[in-house]
Amino acid sequence: MNRMSLKDKVVVITGASSGIGEACAKLMAKEGAIVVLIARSADRLAKVAGEVVKHGGSAFTYPADLTDIEIVRRQAGRIRNEVGVPDMIINSAGAGNWLSIFETSEEEFTDMMAAPYFATIHTVKAFLPDMVKRNRGHIITLNSPACYFIFPGALGYSATRWATRAFQEGLAEELRSTGIAVTSIIAAKVDSPYFKNNPVSAERIPGIATSLMKTLTVEDVAFTVWRATRSRRRTIIVPWQMSLSVFLNRFFPGIFKLLMRATGYKGIPDEISRL
Ligand SMILES: NC(=O)c1ccc[n+]([C@@H]2O[C@H](COP(=O)([O-])OP(=O)(O)OC[C@H]3O[C@@H](n4cnc5c(N)ncnc54)[C@H](OP(=O)(O)O)[C@@H]3O)[C@@H](O)[C@H]2O)c1
């Protein structure tokens, strides 16, 4: 399924009520796709769909908490019957605050695993059998550079991103003999409501990252997703400085660990002393 034209293709986008998912919805619809928008807040999804339609696009909304398997199955069944089998899934639903082991409750660890990790799995599981039967499709998942590094004071966040990367890379291997492409998009800091929804996180981005690379816009990332639809590349990392850092980290992990310690969150000894 190389170089997929988006004209009249059914593109399911999770996390479409905000940020990167919303920007993807608008761009994919502009490229002619029929976009199927999923997130929890029905009113915000309706607003995004309204903007898509106003610009001549085609959009459907299916509100769902993607951490709830039964709701995902039900909504996926409706999507299949009412819109069709997806040609593409863009997984952009996710949340998670940057907090240490001492600051994170067991419940928060569970929630952070629930979305994006389980939300991505539930979405893929709900549609994959039909996509495989058709032997074509593309599954694209947004992820953070935290899937390669350990950011100090962001334990639950990092763990869920590493798990999501493992799922994506394993899925790509398992689907290798099929016509389904699997792509991870790893974006450095993006100017989106994410940081308002997950306070604390922005302050803990290691200085090495903020000083070396620009903050991306949601439109930049949507364009990267669009580029991904034109290829079967398994991983795309933006911007190029982050791509270079990930490459170098493979050979010099000790140096990056030291850089993270030197330029990242340093409050853990205080947290320990307060126990
Ligand atoms: N912003 C960044 O710097 C950055 C960088 C790299 C990667 N990312 C990743 O990209 C993804 C999107 O981030 P963003 O910046 O676009 O954040 P955002 O603006 O906060 O959007 C998150 C989206 O996920 C949805 N969502 C959250 N939990 C959900 C659930 N349980 N079920 C269904 N939908 C759910 C939210 O909608 P509802 O609240 O309506 O459900 C919202 O539409 C995240 O996984 C994030 O980790 C972000």
190 lines ligand 1 (CB under 6 A): yes
Tens of pLDDT, residues 69-98 = 999 999 999 999 999 999 999 999 999 999
Percent of the chain with pLDDT over 90: 94
pTM of the model: 0.97
User: Mean pLDDT over all residues of the chain?
Assistant: 96
| Residue 231 contacts residue 3 (beta carbons within 8 Å) | yes
Give me the pLDDT at residue 249, please.
97
Look at ligand 1, atom 26, and give the residue with the nearest C-alpha.
93
- Ligand 1 atom nearest the C-alpha of 195 is 1
Q: Which of 148, 157, 194, 265 is catalytic?
A: 157
Nearest CA, atom 46, ligand 1: 94
Between the CA of 273 and the centroid of ligand 1 the distance, in Å, is: 34
Cβ distance 38 to 68 under 8 Å?
Answer: no
Q: What spacing in Å lies between the alpha carbon of 175 and ligand 1's midpoint?
A: 26
Q: Residue 4 above 90 pLDDT?
A: no
At the fourth CATH level, which superfamily is domain 10-269? NAD(P)-binding Rossmann-like Domain (3.40.50.720)
Has residue 153 got a pLDDT over 50? yes
Split at pLDDT 50, 70, 90, the class of 2 is very low
Q: Is the pLDDT of residue 110 over 80?
A: yes
Cβ distance 14 to 66 under 8 Å?
A: yes
> Beta-carbon neighbour count of residue 193 at 10 Å?
12
